[in-house]
A and B are shown apart, each in its own frame.
Chain A
Amino acid sequence: MYGYNGKILRVNLTDRSIKTEALDEAKARKYIGGRGLGTKMMMDEVDPSVDALSPANKLMIVTGPLTGTATPTGGRYMAVTKSPLTGTIASSNSGGYFGAELKFAGWDAIVFEGKASAPVYLNVVDDKVELLDAGKLWGKVLSETTDALEQAHGDKARILAIGPAGERLSLLAAIMNDRWRAAGRSGVGAVMGSKNLKAVVVKGSGKVAVADEAALKEAFAVCMKKIKDNGVTGTGLPTYGTAVLVNIINENGVFPTNNFQESVFDKAEEISGEALAEKYLKKKDPCFRCPIACGRYCEVDDIKGGGPEYETIWAFGGDCGVSSLKDVIKANYWCNEYGIDTISAGATLAAAMELYQKGLVKKTEFGDGPELKFGNADSIVEWTKRMGAGTGFGAKLAKGSYRLCESYGVPELSMTVKKQELPAYDPRGIMGHGVQYATSNRGGCHVRGYMISPEILGLPEKLDRLETAGKPGWVKIFQDFTASIDSVGLCLFTSFAMGADDYAALYNAVCGTKITGADFVTSGERIWNIEKQYNLAAGIGPDQDTLPPRLLEEPVPAGPSKGRVHPLSQMLPEYYSLRGWDAKGIPTKGKLSELGL
C-alpha cells in the first residue's frame, strides 16, 4: 500500500499486550485516515454510550496517508476518542513532528485500550515496542516530562505526553507533542490520563512509500506556488502568525469580550499580533515540512516557548477583559506546561469572572488566590496554574465552563455548544459561522468549517458577514472539505491557498489512486455523517445543535454588530435539508446509503 504503512499498533494497557494489525485497506480508502479512519474505527470498536473516562473507551492516535510525505505541512495526526467534555466523538488535530515520526517508524495508527494499573509510557523504535514505567514522570509538567524522556531516549525521539491536567482528568486537558504543540480540544488528554498513560516516545528510521514520485514532485510544486503566492499563507501567517486576527476581528465588531457580554474590546491593540511581533516574538516555529510557519516562539521574563495563537490571546485577553499581553503569554505557557486547552481554559476563566461579577461566586471561594475579575491580569496566570494542578477553586475550573456555570444554577452563562467552549468569534455578527458553531460534531469549534475565511477574510470570495442567504450551503461545503483535509494528514491552513483538486493530486501521487477533487469532498461528507451517527448513538441529538441563549436573544450592545442576535432557527432547516437530513436534523437512510454508510 502506498501512502499508508498498512500497519496498526494495538496496545492493551490492562493486560499489557502489544499487537500488530494489518490496516484494513478498504476502510482506509473509504475514510482516508486521521479523523475519518479514527472515527470509523471508534464506530466499529467502541460503544458510543461508554463512559469516556472508563477503560472501555479507546484512544486512537491516527495519521493520514500524506503524513510524513514530501507534501506541504504533511506532519499532522489526530487524537480520536469519545470526549469526556462533550460526550460526542472527539478528534483533535496536532502538528509538530510526532505524526511524521510515527509514520517513519512504520505505523499508521496506535490504538490504546483498557487502563494500566500504574502509570506507563509507550516506547516505539520502529517495530520494537515496549511499555515502560512512568511512575517518576507522573505529576511532571510538559517540559520536565519531555526533558526526562529525551534524556532516556535521545533528543531525536519525538514525544507526545500529557501534563498534570490530563493525569487529574481535567475535562480541558490536551494531549501535547513536541513540547507545545497540542491536540487541544474536547478533553482528549483526560482520556489518556484515565488510562494511566503518560507519554508516547517514537523514533522511526523508515520512509513512507510513494506511488509516483514524479507526480508528487509536480503536485508539490503547484501547491507550493499557490501557498507562496497567496497573501494569507505567503505573507500574513508567516509574518504575524494567527494573532494578526485580533485587530481584524475586533474592527469587525465580532471579538467576544468579557464572556461574550460585548463584542468589541477597546484595548485590542495592546494584545494584537502587531504588538506581539513588536515586543515578544523571538522566532518562527514551524511544524514538519511547513512552508507557512505560522507557529510563534516568544520570550517574556523567565518564560519562553511556543505560541500564543490568536484563539489563546482572545481567550485570556479579550474574553477575560485582560489587556496585558505579557500575562496572556504566561497563561499560555502554563497551559502548555500543565497540558490544558487554551481556548477552553481562557473561556472558563471568563465564565468564572461573570459568575463573580454577578455575585454568584463569592470572594472567599478564591482562598488566597487573586480575584477572578474581568481585567485582572494576575488572575489569569495564577488560576491557570491552579486549574492545571486542580487546587482549590481550580478544581471547579478544571471541569470547564459548562459544569462550572451549571454548579451555580446558571448553565446559560456558559458560552459553550455541546458543553465545549466557543472560540474567538461572536456569531451574532457572522451568520454562517454561527450555523457552523451550532452544528459542529465536536461542539463549540471554529476549525470544523472555518467560515471566517469567506465571511471576514474574503477567501475564496468575500461574503457579507451579516447576510444569511446562501450561508448554510457554504457551511456544509466547508465542513465536508475540512473533514477530508483533517483526514489526509495536512494542516487546515493550506486550504487558504489550495483547492480540492490540489489535495486530490497530492493524494493520488502518494497513494497511486485516481480520485477527483469532488471525490475528496464527498469523503468528507461521509466522515461528517459517520461522526453524526456516532453522536446520535451517544445520545447527543439535534436538540444540542444550538447556541448559548445569550447569542440567540441578547443583542450585541455596541460596535459594528450592534443590535444583532443570531437567527439560528431560521437557518438550520436549510442546513439540514442541504445535508440530506430530515427536518429534525437526523441523517436519512437515503443519504447514508448514498454515502455507503
Chain B
Amino acid sequence: MTIEARLFATLREGRGKVLKVELGDGATVADLAGRLSIDRKDVAILLVGGRDARLDRPLSDGEIVSIFPPVGGG
C-alpha cells in the first residue's frame, strides 16, 4: 500500500516534506517511522487523516500521516 507521509519542522532535514512510502499490508505508523528513520522521541504530534493517532495504529492504503517533532505554541 502507498502512504503519504507529511513531515514538518526539523523532521524534514535529510528527508523532505511530503513522501510517498510503499509499505506491506498490516504495517503500522511505527513501521512508517522506522522506514523514515524517525526516532520515537522525535514524534510529538502524530496525525492520521488529521486525527490523533498512536504509533501502533495500523495503516491502510492512501492514508495521510502527519508527523511533528516537539514544536511550539502561539
How many residues on B have C-beta within 8 angstroms of the other chain's C-beta atoms? 21
- A465: CB under 8 A from chain B? yes
Tell me the complex Cα distance, A242–B68, Å: 14
| A contact face: mostly helix, strand, loop, or mixed | helix
Contact B74 A462 (CB under 8 A): no
Chain B residues whose C-beta falls within 8 Å of the C-beta of A241 in the assembled complex: 72
Smallest Cβ distance from A244 to chain B, in angstroms?
Answer: 5
Stretch at the interface among B4-12, B23-31, B32-40, B55-63: B4-12
Contact A559 B73 (CB under 8 A): no
Contact A450 B9 (CB under 8 A): no
Contact A245 B50 (CB under 8 A): no
- A309: CB under 8 A from chain B? yes
Contact B73 A496 (CB under 8 A): yes
Tell me the complex Cα distance, A459–B72, Å: 11
Known: A251-B47, A274-B9. A462 touches B70 (CB 8 A): no
Stretch at the interface among A231-239, A477-485, A524-532: A231-239
Tell me the complex Cα distance, A140–B71, Å: 38
- A452: CB under 8 A from chain B? yes
Tell me the complex Cα distance, A236–B51, Å: 21
Contact B72 A269 (CB under 8 A): no
Known: A239-B10, A244-B9, A248-B8. A232 touches B73 (CB 8 A): yes
Tell me the complex Cα distance, A458–B43, Å: 12
Contact B70 A456 (CB under 8 A): no
Chain B residues whose C-beta falls within 8 Å of the C-beta of A405 in the assembled complex: none
Chain A residues whose C-beta falls within 8 Å of the C-beta of B47 in the assembled complex: 251-252, 560
Tell me the complex Cα distance, A309–B70, Å: 18
Smallest Cβ distance from B66 to chain A, in angstroms?
Answer: 4
Tell me the complex Cα distance, A309–B74, Å: 8
Selected from B6, B52, B69, B74, the residue in CB contact (under 8 A) with A231 is: B69
Report A301-313 CB contacts with B as 1/0, cut-off 8 Å.
0000000011100
Chain B: CB-nearest residue to A241 = B72
Contact A457 B73 (CB under 8 A): yes
- A25: CB under 8 A from chain B? no
Near B by CB (< 8 A), chain A positions 273-331 give 273-274, 294, 309-311
Known: A244-B9, A247-B8, A248-B8. A236 touches B74 (CB 8 A): no
Near B by CB (< 8 A), chain A positions 448-484 give 450, 452-453, 456-459, 462, 464-465
Tell me the complex Cα distance, A458–B54, Å: 13
- A507: CB under 8 A from chain B? no
Chain B residues whose C-beta falls within 8 Å of the C-beta of A465 in the assembled complex: 52
Chain A residues whose C-beta falls within 8 Å of the C-beta of B10 in the assembled complex: 235, 239
- A240: CB under 8 A from chain B? yes
Known: A248-B45, A251-B47. A493 touches B73 (CB 8 A): yes
Interface centre among B12, B49, B51, by most chain A C-beta atoms within 10 angstroms, is B51
- B17: CB under 8 A from chain A? yes
Contact A560 B73 (CB under 8 A): no
Selected from B17, B44, B69, the residue in CB contact (under 8 A) with A458 is: B44
- A253: CB under 8 A from chain B? yes
Contact A244 B71 (CB under 8 A): yes
Report A487-531 CB contacts with B as 1/0, cut-off 8 Å.
000000100100000000000000000000000000000000000
Selected from B8, B17, B49, B71, the residue in CB contact (under 8 A) with A232 is: B71
Report A133-172 CB contacts with B as 1/0, cut-off 8 Å.
0000000000000000000000000000000000000000
- A446: CB under 8 A from chain B? yes
Contact B71 A446 (CB under 8 A): no
Tell me the complex Cα distance, A462–B44, Å: 10
Interface centre among B49, B70, B72, by most chain A C-beta atoms within 10 angstroms, is B72
Contact B70 A231 (CB under 8 A): yes
Tell me the complex Cα distance, A244–B69, Å: 11
- A83: CB under 8 A from chain B? no
Tell me the complex Cα distance, A60–B6, Å: 47
Selected from B12, B66, B74, the residue in CB contact (under 8 A) with A274 is: B12
- A197: CB under 8 A from chain B? no
Interface centre among B50, B68, B74, by most chain A C-beta atoms within 10 angstroms, is B74
Contact A239 B73 (CB under 8 A): no
Tell me the complex Cα distance, A232–B17, Å: 21
Smallest Cβ distance from A245 to chain B, in angstroms?
Answer: 5
Chain B: CB-nearest residue to A496 = B73
Known: A251-B6, A457-B45, A465-B52. A294 touches B12 (CB 8 A): no
Contact A237 B44 (CB under 8 A): no
Smallest Cβ distance from B8 to chain A, in angstroms?
Answer: 5
Tell me the complex Cα distance, A93–B10, Å: 31
Chain A residues whose C-beta falls within 8 Å of the C-beta of B66 in the assembled complex: 247, 251
Chain A residues whose C-beta falls within 8 Å of the C-beta of B73 in the assembled complex: 232, 237, 242, 245, 450, 452-453, 457, 459, 493, 496
Selected from A230, A273, A464, A561, the residue in CB contact (under 8 A) with B9 is: A273
Contact A240 B9 (CB under 8 A): yes
Chain A residues whose C-beta falls within 8 Å of the C-beta of B8 in the assembled complex: 244, 247-248, 251, 274
Contact A248 B71 (CB under 8 A): yes
Selected from A232, A253, A561, the residue in CB contact (under 8 A) with B72 is: A232
Tell me the complex Cα distance, A326–B72, Å: 22
Instruction: List 21 contacting pairs A-B, 8 Å CB cutoff, sorted by A.
Output: A232-B72, A235-B69, A236-B70, A240-B72, A243-B74, A244-B9, A245-B72, A247-B66, A251-B8, A251-B68, A253-B50, A273-B72, A274-B8, A294-B72, A310-B74, A453-B73, A457-B73, A462-B52, A559-B50, A560-B49, A561-B50
Residues of A whose CB lies within 8 Å of any CB of B are 230-232, 235-237, 239-245, 247-248, 251-253, 269, 273-274, 294, 309-311, 424, 446, 450, 452-453, 456-459, 462, 464-465, 493, 496, 559-561
